Chains A and B, each alone.
Chain A
Amino acid sequence: MKQNNSRLQAVRDAVNRVDLNSFRFWLQLAAFALFVYGGYFAIDLGSRLPLFSCAYNDEGRAAICYLLPLQHQLSQPWPRLFSIASITVITGFLTFVLWFIFLNKGWCGYVCPLGTIQDWITALRRRLGIRYSRYSQSQFAQLTRVKYLLLALMILIPLGIGGGFFSHDMSPPFCLICPARMVLPMFTGDVSQFTIDFSSKTAMIMTAVGISITGLFLVGAFVKKRFFCFFCPMSALHYLISKPALLKLKKDGNKCTRCGDCYRVCDMEIKEIADDVKTVNIMADDCIMCLKCVASCPEEGALKATFAGIPILESTEAGFIKRINKGCSDGK
């Protein structure tokens, strides 16, 4: 028993010393390959996934982002929606929740192809030696609300379509303006989404907005880490159902010196991660659970990621020192 414990501890120590950045890079790459090209290998994980595995990437996709079926379901004519079809909406949502609770927002930081692309754009910028920009805190406080607004619109507009208030050309509203619709099919050689649909005025406006947002996405991700994730309605939806999630980000405020190292490396500029010493479940609504904060915390056990209550990655002094030494000696 004791030997088992010490072996477990040895495994834990090794994990806590992991080079998180490169681990994450490879995992993201694998997930990207799965969700963008898995379709060619007949992989189909369903259509209730809590990430942007875009349905418009017809051939390559291994699953479908839940936002598309959700909007479709909600835009059914009201008599149908409010009778028998409501069951499919509910079962759909429950399947989505089941997928989600496994990884919590880890879906964003490790699996979502659109997030991965942004990280690649960031890596490109870094290689070019260009500095990133940050929001001021007041900007941040305003911008962080946008995703809830988008989420509300994403639900209300389809309902309006089903009720006959809006044109069907607006459906599915969020997908039409989502950069994933254009960016992800590109990776399988499909650029057909990069068009403006002139068939009707509504379609024209929606697709034009979509193209502009995609342009903004590419430029934004170049100057700002994880630019799009601030506005992502999926992220807002995640947060609303994150309570029962199995993967959790926890903080022990007593061990925190508020040195701000975690805030420093946070792509989403979440200040509470450093300053809040009371909250135990420290995952904020903008968090993408990349766990870089855990890796950059020098205080033993101040931050940790747990899965179903079992710690899987913990901040340690040895891990911190190892990573910082690697940073200091890399690419001289």
Chain B
Amino acid sequence: MENESPKIIPIQPAPYSRSRQAGESQNVLDHIVDDFQDNPASMQYFYDLFRRVYCHGDALQHEGMLVGTTCIQAPEELIYAFGATPMRLCNGSYHYDQRGADFMPAKSCSLVKATLGMLSSETVIPKIGKPDLIVNPTTCDQKKKASAMIEGMGYSVYDLEVPSVKESEASRVYWQRSVRQLAGRLQELTGRKLTRKSLKQAMSKTTRAQAAFRALHNFRRQSPSLILGKDAFLVTNAYFFDDIGRWTTAVEKLNEELAQRAKAGFKAVQSKAPRVLFTGSPPIFPNLKLPLLIEESGGVVVTDETCSSNRMLYDMTAVDEWRVNDMVDSLADKYLKPCTCPIFTRNDDRKRRLLDLVSDFNVDGVVYQAFAGCQVYEMEYRSVAEEFNRAGIPLLYVETDYSTDDKGQLSTRIEAFLESMKNRKKQRA
């Protein structure tokens, strides 16, 4: 009979959720959720989101066309205004970092390698589907050179030209033109026109998100802290790929909870916990190694100056005349003038911003992360260290990458750093 034929069990590829890559995210997420006490209840939204997207590999939905961005310098309001959805492609996975090593020299930035690794893989996580366009701002050398490689993988890439000086008038005019050209390219892509109405709607979306971010930022001034830095980083990381409306609502809910915590006199950490400002190369999930090490060792990251969090969401746009032209130029200004990225010639604004955060957030010490191979951050270290030296603020410089091999050694250094800050605090008291 027919059913006598031998049963063949086809070899099925293991589901993503059982892969080593998912395991990497799983481990970090479990650590974030389970190894700390008193997580805010409203963080559950973000924990679930990361679990779905990074651990289970669930697909992400988006409206309209999908425009990937490789840097915060790509004006997302423009992308929204054309009815498309921006998705930040900067990746934090060690799995992709190793994969991307094929494209770049040995001593290159983990972030760029991981982004290349992600785009070159068959299973892109977060599962966003293939972007209709990737906007690649010409910022650091590695991102510049990544452009052609991404194109070689079969993506359509647009190089958004960023000047390397930001103070001069020439660069401002050049950049405004660049941004207008991007608008032209997006119009071509989507077949839509940029209207006052659509741009206003896009700006009100981002304004609402930024206002929510700023409220969260302000809650973190409180000492002792109401929320840990690892959660805050997770929140801003979610902004990379989450639906902006949903994200904002979730942050607003978190803020409500923090307001209640403040009223109730809640402490997320011990009163003496050293308050740390995090700066340098951006922590991106699952690479939250350094912030997590700081907080396991009894410190708390109270604020940051990184492009995966503060620099991405803090600065807001002012418009004088609400017409398309003036709005686009205003957006251009906002993406260039306050940016503290080390790719620019001078870094006075970064130093001033850091000092301001130190005084506003009652910071005890600074941790400066530089991804091995991220030359611009490595080069800026000296001048930043001098500035902090002069101000008498302890600074720990950590050169690292996405691998977890140096965790033990880093943990010793961080513990020693936090210990010295505690002693300083005691002496001052």
A264: which of B197, B211, B214, B320 is its contact (CB, 8 Å)?
A: B320
In the bound complex, residues from chain A placing their C-beta under 8 Å from that of B325 are 131
**Residues on the B chain within 8 Å of A137, using CB:** 169
Offer 21 A-B interface pairs, CB within 8 angstroms, sorted by A.
A131-B326, A132-B321, A254-B352, A254-B356, A256-B352, A258-B349, A259-B315, A259-B316, A260-B333, A260-B337, A261-B317, A261-B318, A263-B333, A264-B318, A264-B320, A298-B318, A321-B207, A324-B318, A325-B207, A328-B207, A332-B197
Q: CA separation between A137 and B204, bound complex, in Å? A: 32
Contacts of B333 in A (CB 8 A): 259-261, 263-264
The answer to whether A126 and B318 touch across the interface, beta carbons within 8 angstroms, is no
- Is A72's CB within 8 Å of the partner chain B? no
Cα–Cα distance between A329 and B352 once the two chains are bound (Å): 34
Closest approach, in angstroms, between the C-beta of A296 and any C-beta of chain B? 4
> Is B298 part of the contact surface with A, judged by Cβ < 8 Å?
no
A46 CB to nearest B CB, Å: 36
Given contacts A254-B355, A277-B352, A321-B211, contact A259 B169 (CB under 8 A): no
A226 → B minimal CB distance (Å):
12
Q: In the complex, which residues of chain A have a beta carbon less than 8 angstroms from the beta carbon of B201?
A: 328
Q: Decide: A258 and B338 in contact? CB cutoff 8 A.
A: yes
Residue A243 at the chain B interface, CB threshold 8 Å:
no
Asked whether any CB of chain B lies closer than 8 Å to the CB of A206, the reply is no
**Any chain A CB within 8 A of the CB of B322?**
yes
**Is residue B141 within 8 Å, beta carbon to beta carbon, of the partner chain?**
no
Q: Which residues of B contact A (CB under 8 A)?
A: 167, 169, 197, 200-201, 203-204, 207, 211, 214, 218, 314-323, 325-326, 329-330, 333-334, 337-338, 349, 352-353, 355-356, 359
Is A87 an interface position by the 8 A CB rule? no
Per-residue B-contact encoding for A122-138, CB less than 8 Å = 1, 0 else: 00001001011000110
Query: What 0/1 readout, one digit per residue, does chain A (285-321) give for beta carbons within 8 Å of chain B?
Result: 0000000100011100000000000000000010011
4 other contacts beyond A126-B323, A328-B203, with CB at 8 A cut-off? A257-B338, A320-B316, A328-B200, A330-B322
A residues within 8 A CB of B314?
A: 257
Contacts known (A137-B169, A329-B200); A296 close to B318, Cβ less than 8 A: yes
CB-CB nearest in chain B for A267: B320
Interface centre among A261, A262, A317, A320 (most CB of B within 10 A): A261
The answer to whether B204 touches A328, judged by C-beta atoms less than 8 angstroms apart, is yes
The answer to whether A324 and B320 have CB atoms under 8 Å apart is: no
Find B356's partner among A255, A261, A275, A297 (CB 8 Å cutoff): A255
Distance in angstroms between the alpha carbons of A253 and B353 in the assembled complex: 11
Give bound CA distance, A260 to B203, whole Å: 18
> Which one of A253, A274, A325 lies within 8 Å of B204 (CB-CB)?
A325
Assess whether A131 is in contact with B320, with CB atoms less than 8 Å apart: no
- Closest chain B residue to A322, Cβ basis: B211
Contacts of B218 in A (CB 8 A): 317
Interface size, chain A (Cβ < 8 Å): 37
- A327 within 8 A of partner (CB): yes
Indicate if A265 sits at the interface (CB-CB under 8 A): yes
Report Cα–Cα, A260/B353, bound state, in Å: 15
Main secondary structure of the interface of A (DSSP, over half): helix
Specify which chain A residues have a CB less than 8 angstroms from the CB of B207 in the assembled complex.
Answer: 321, 324-325, 328
CA distance A317 to B316 in the complex (A): 10
Contacts of A260 in B (CB 8 A): 333-334, 337-338
- Shortest CB distance A208–B (Å): 35
CB distance from A143 to the nearest CB of B (A): 15
Q: Is the CB of A298 within 8 A of B316?
A: yes
Residues of B within 8 Å of A254, CB to CB, are 352, 355-356, 359
Q: Could you say which residues of chain A place their CB within 8 Å of the CB of B203?
A: 324, 328
Which chain B residues border A136 with CB–CB below 8 Å?
A: 169
CA distance A256 to B326 in the complex (A): 23
Expressed in whole angstroms, the Cα–Cα distance for A258 and B325 within the complex equals 22
B204–A329 CB distance below 8 A: yes
The reply to whether A259 and B352 contact each other, CB–CB distance below 8 Å, is no
CA distance A129 to B315 in the complex (A): 28
Q: Determine the chain A residues whose CB is within 8 A of the CB of B334 once the complex forms.
A: 259-261
B-side contacts of A296, CB under 8 Å: 318, 320
Name which residue of chain A comes closest to B340, CB basis. A257
Closest approach, in angstroms, between the C-beta of B84 and any C-beta of chain A? 19
* Complex Cα spacing A87 to B318, Å: 50
> Which residue on A lies nearest to B326, using beta carbons?
A131
Chain A residue nearest to B199 in the complex (CB): A328
Q: How far is the CA of A260 from the CA of B176 in the complex (A)?
A: 14
Q: Is the CB of B353 within 8 A of A264?
A: no
**Which residues of A sit under 8 angstroms from B321, Cβ to Cβ?**
126, 132
Whether the pair A257, B353 counts as a contact (CB closer than 8 A) is: yes
Chain A to chain B: the 10 pairs with minimum beta-carbon distance, closest first = A261-B318, A259-B338, A260-B337, A328-B204, A296-B318, A265-B320, A137-B169, A257-B338, A298-B316, A259-B315
